[in-house]
Amino acid sequence: MKKILLPFFILTFLPAQLMAQPLVDSPKYQKARGKMVSLQIRLRGVSDKKVLNAMSQVPRHRFVPKELLSQAYADHPLPIGQGQTISQPYIVALMTEKLKLIGNERILEIGTGSGYQAAILAKVAKEVYTIEIKEKLYKKAESLLRSLGFSKIKTRHGDGYFGWPEAAPFDCIMITASIDHIPPPLLKQLKDGGRLILPLGNPFSYQHLSLVTKYDDEYTVKQITGVLFVPMTGHALDQNPRVTNDIP
Amino acid sequence: MILAAVFLLSLSSLALEVLLTRVFSISQWNHLSFMVISIALFGFAAAGTFLNIIDTQKKDWEKRLSSSGPVKIFIILYTVTAIGSFMVLNRIPLDYFRLPLEPVQIFYLLTAYLLLTLPFFFAGLVISLAYAFIPEKSGFVYFASMAGSACGAIIPFPFLPFLGEGRSIILAALIPLIIVPFEKPTTNKKHALTKNISRGKRFAFQVTCLFIVLMTGLLVSVEDGLEPKVKPSPYKDLSRFLQFPDTRIFETVTGLRGRFDSVHSPYTRFAPGLSLKFKDILPEQWVIYKDGDTPFFIYKQQLQKDEWFSKFTLPYAGYMLVPNPEHILLIQDGGGSGIPCAMASGACNITVVEQKPKIAHIVRNHYNIPVVNQNPRAFMAQSDKHYDIIHIENWGGSLPGSDALTQGYLFTTASFSEYLNHLTENGILIMARKLLLPPADSIRLWAGAYESLRSLEFENPERHIAVLRNWSTFTLIVSVRPFNDMTGLKDFARDMNFDLVYIPGITKEMVNRFNIFDAPYHFFEISRLAEAYRSGTEEAYFETYPLDVAPQSDSRPFPGRFLKWNRLKALYKITGSRFYSLFMSGEIVVCVVFLEALVIAVFLLMIPVFTIKKQDKKPNISLLLYFLAVGAGFMFLELFFIKKYIFIFGDPVISLTVVLTGILVFSGFGGCCSQRIGPGGLRYVLIALIAVLIFIFLGLDPMIHRILELSKILQYTLATLLLILPSFLVGLPFPLGMRFLLNRPAHRAYAWTANGCASVLTSIISAQIAISLGIPIIILCAAAAYLVALLMSNTKTIGQK
């Protein structure tokens, strides 16, 4: 009997192992993700349940290079090659939360990158349109998002500066690439009352997020301060005690 | 033979050092260049330690190793390791940006250290052998070394534009091979222990040289893979930009001042400070990158309308205050968006000052406006023109913290005074910069403007200053006339959705309306600062503020430096306890490198102490201190002049070349003349040197300012002449010490080690001294070092001949 079981074992187990995705969402990654959400995101004040759920569900490790897998859930951004980075988990969560999504929004993301941010947005909003100008990144992200079952995300290879006029207007626009001015065409594709969010600063140092809100033809730009970037003046320290309770 | 070897190896190794600095500046950021090259120079010092260890094993090693055969072997090894290390380094994926994140980068860094140390080790070996073997000719050895180094400082200049960095390095590495195929029969009795090289060995050397040259020629001529082209890090601006479709470099010009890549792309869009009210499309642009970063944008002005976007930018607030300006002066240091601003104002005369010759040439040809290729401070010192508007554009580096070590004179209080003195009676000064949080740069510039106005005896200086911002940039405006009516500025800000930060009579209700922070931090801080100046407590304000925001002077011109060491812990916490964010700071890198260098120096200096068994043969502390002091003094002097001359020439590369060449040549002559000085002369030399250094500390500044007003030829001439006396004198202590203070070859090798260690440590610490205490302190440090040398030279514990 044992002799029969052995070849049976070899014939079934081994091919299964060979064919298995090397990056399955194993308990190890699930645990790391849970810890990431608790310690890096919830504890820093992100409380939107939809966002927290999205961060808990989307397997971030699928979006990082294999050689950095061990750091996929670490509390910092990661280089993903070709001069690109995947943002720190907290920044992704914060940016998503600040858009105040209720689930029926149409969102445009400029700069698909790894595709991680688009995946998070897809869990929270109704439709996600994402544009990536670099073809290699676009193809990789599109393939990955499709393989992960994100059918709500429409991807495009193109120049995000001009937005996605055919699908406009949008409730929200998220720019993930660094820029020195907000593209006028994007502001035109924002609905009245719509929000545009973008991070400013060096990805490996400090960043501050800016939220642009459109009212008729007037715009306000609100700086959102995060853990990484709270002003150091005594005045600000008094007003932001969470700075001194930073998470290790 | 050995003197020729010393000359050629010194030439080649300094050229190698200069070129490697260029390579790292292009492929990485200056931080990594500083890190790697500083440590690699310990190769020189390590050679002396190695010879000390040999001394414990072999007798008469200095005679054997300094004969023709071994010297040629060392030269060959130098060339092979120089070329090999560069080729390998060009291929390993060492990336400064990923250094704090990927553990494997530490391995790459250590590999870089080790590989680059090797060629300097072999060069140092030959030079220290020369001192050990012919101490009675120390002066000539010194001259050969200094003269060779001086040539090495200049040689990259003509070759770089044609060969590029990689091929220039290879050529520099091959130079010492010139003497290897040749053999001069020696009659020197000192080499009695060694015979002349046999014909067979001579032939072997010749074949080896030919082989190396041919292989190298093959390497550099191969199209793919092995071509030694230097590529920027994928995280540099240029590399990221090149990934956009239809984006290509159409011209590359390389030289000692940098590599300039001109890029065409349909995705070039630069408009810092652009209002959200601008609805149109920006004009087409193209961009020039310097060393893969620091872009300069050129706007294709097809229609008059294309300039209109400038009227929606923040700096235009200043132009709006001067209707119909006649004369505008633009001082450009990166960016390029100031030119469309000036053109949109309708001014009849626009003058641009641009230091980089390549960019000056392009701007002149493209915009058809006068461009002065000159150091801005020199231009201001030589010009008596007055302008309605002076606009300074400088956006800083792309990597935060990378500017901390950068010396620049655009924003010192003295510069503010120059600008104000060149404005008409209704003139306006405009400065556009990136907005930082926490407030830093805006405070510093406001303070610089205030102190300058005060020194020029303007009443109520704060009434002449205004600051506006948007979400990522700010503009400082200084007016010759006090701002009495702010209506125009307020309307402009409101219409464009910009925010006021400071205007005379500003209140809290007027700020933070369109670009909203949690609190109006910049308004708060500048208001506090203004109050501090009114009450005379501005020093206390600068003392208590978490960052160093005090206005910069010409003695301490580091506009990008904000770190306060006593607040480092708080800074670390505030950035989320992330070590890598601190690593972006140039100052932190200096500290890390200094600690690394100190460990290596102690290691190299202690090895002989522990390996030499006989007490009377061990190097003694006085010997060590003397040569440490002499090495430190020389380097302090060199770095002092390099930093000082940046003020004259405006460019650190030009300054480095002039100073290095001058100091090396004149100190070489000093070394040569040391042959005529007897043992009693050392004391007087050191006393004279200390006196000259103190005189330089007290009297150089007025001379430098006077030189600034002169023509370029006179600047170069006088700057070089000023180097003669101190350089000549610093060329004496080392060879005199070698001749008269030491009596063993091993001690001479050890002295070489001490000198080398001191040079490296000093070059690193000088950067910090300049930033923290000011450039003049460096020359005082030089004087102090030579004082130590004087005291040590008087002790009787050093062996006398």
The whole-angstrom separation of Cα B753 and Cα B49 is 6
The whole-angstrom separation of Cα B707 and Cα B20 is 32
**CB distance A239–B518 less than 8 Å?**
yes
Mean pLDDT of A10-33: 65
Mean pLDDT of B687-710: 95
Q: What pLDDT does residue A15 have?
A: 47
The β-bridge relationship of strands B248-255 and A218-224 is: unpaired
CB proximity list for B148: less than 8 A, separation 6 or greater: B6, B7, B8, B9, B10, B11, B12, B14
B230 min Cα distance to partner chain A (Å): 17
Q: What pLDDT does residue B506 have?
A: 92
Q: Which amino acid is at B260?
A: F
Lowest mean pLDDT among B68-72, B208-212, B273-277: B208-212
- Tens digit of pLDDT for each residue in B432-471? 999 887 899 999 999 999 999 999 999 999 999 999 999 8
Nearest-by-Cβ selection for A236 from B278, B519, B584: B519
Q: What pLDDT does residue A178 have?
A: 72
**CB distance B400–A71 less than 8 Å?**
no
Residue B557 main-chain phi, psi, to 5 deg? -95, 70
The whole-angstrom separation of Cα B594 and Cα B600 is 10
The whole-angstrom separation of Cα B670 and Cα B729 is 6
Q: What pLDDT does residue B227 have?
A: 55
Nearest residue in A to B337, CA atom: A180
Q: What pLDDT does residue A40 have?
A: 92
Please check the confidence at residue A61 and state whether its pLDDT lies above 50: yes
Per DSSP, the three-state class of B194 is coil
Cα torsion for B519, B521, B525, B530, to the nearest 10°?
A: -80
Q: What pLDDT does residue B799 have?
A: 44
pTM: 0.87
**CB distance A133–B581 less than 8 Å?**
no
Q: What pLDDT does residue A1 have?
A: 52
- Bridge partners (DSSP) listed for residue A196: A173, A212
Rg (CA), chain A: 20
Q: What pLDDT does residue B584 have?
A: 65
- Tens digit of pLDDT for each residue in B743-801? 888 888 888 899 999 999 998 899 899 999 999 999 999 999 999 999 998 764 444 43
User: In the predicted model, what is the mean pLDDT of chain B?
Assistant: 87
Please check the confidence at residue A32 and state whether its pLDDT lies above 90: yes
- Tens digit of pLDDT for each residue in A115-172? 999 999 999 999 999 999 888 889 999 999 999 999 889 999 988 889 999 999 999 9
- Bridge partners (DSSP) listed for residue A108: A129, A173
Q: What is the DSSP letter of B235?
A: T
Please check the confidence at residue B638 and state whether its pLDDT lies above 50: yes
How large is the angle between the packed helices B413-421 and B441-455, nearest 10 degrees?
60
**CB distance B438–A231 less than 8 Å?**
yes
A155 min Cα distance to partner chain B (Å): 17
Does B461 sit behind a cis peptide bond, omega within 30 degrees of 0 on the bond before it? Answer: no
3-state helix, strand, coil in chain B (%, to 5): 60, 10, 30
Please check the confidence at residue B56 and state whether its pLDDT lies above 50: yes
- Tens digit of pLDDT for each residue in B125-165? 999 888 888 888 888 889 999 999 999 998 888 888 888 88
Nearest-by-Cβ selection for A83 from B243, B280, B571: B243
B237 min Cα distance to partner chain A (Å): 9
Return the residue in A181, A212, A229 with the most chain B beta carbons within 10 A, the one to mutate for interface testing: A181
Q: What pLDDT does residue A203 have?
A: 58
Greatest mean pLDDT among A1-10, B164-173, B352-361: B352-361
User: In the predicted model, what is the mean pLDDT of chain A?
Assistant: 80
Q: In what order do the strands lie in the sheet with B465-469?
A: B371-372, B349-354, B327-332, B387-393, B423-434, B473-479, B465-469, B499-502
**CB distance B437–A208 less than 8 Å?**
yes
Find the distance separating the first CA and the last CA of chain A, reported in whole Å: 55
Q: What pLDDT does residue B55 have?
A: 80
Set of chain B residues whose Cβ sits within 8 Å of the Cβ of A231: 437-439, 521
The β-bridge relationship of strands A207-215 and A190-201 is: antiparallel
Question: What interface predicted TM-score (ipTM) does this complex get?
Answer: 0.74
Active-site residue numbers of A? 87
Set of chain B residues whose Cβ sits within 8 Å of the Cβ of A159: 266-267
Return the structure tokens found at B226.
């092995």
Q: How far is CA A215 from CA A143, A167, A191, A220, A221, in A?
A: 37, 20, 9, 8, 11
Per the listing, tokens 């001359």 go with B645
Nearest residue in A to B585, CA atom: A205
Size of interface A-B (CB pairs under 8 A): 159
CB proximity list for B800: less than 8 A, separation 6 or greater: B679, B740, B741, B743
Q: What pLDDT does residue B447 have?
A: 97
**CB distance A223–B437 less than 8 Å?**
yes
Lowest mean pLDDT among A206-210, B3-7, B723-727: A206-210
Nearest residue in A to B512, CA atom: A222
**CB distance B438–A222 less than 8 Å?**
no
Nearest-by-Cβ selection for A232 from B234, B277, B546: B546
Sequential DSSP letters for B742-753 = --SHHHHHHHHH
Cα torsion for B51, B52, B57, B63, to the nearest 10°?
A: 50
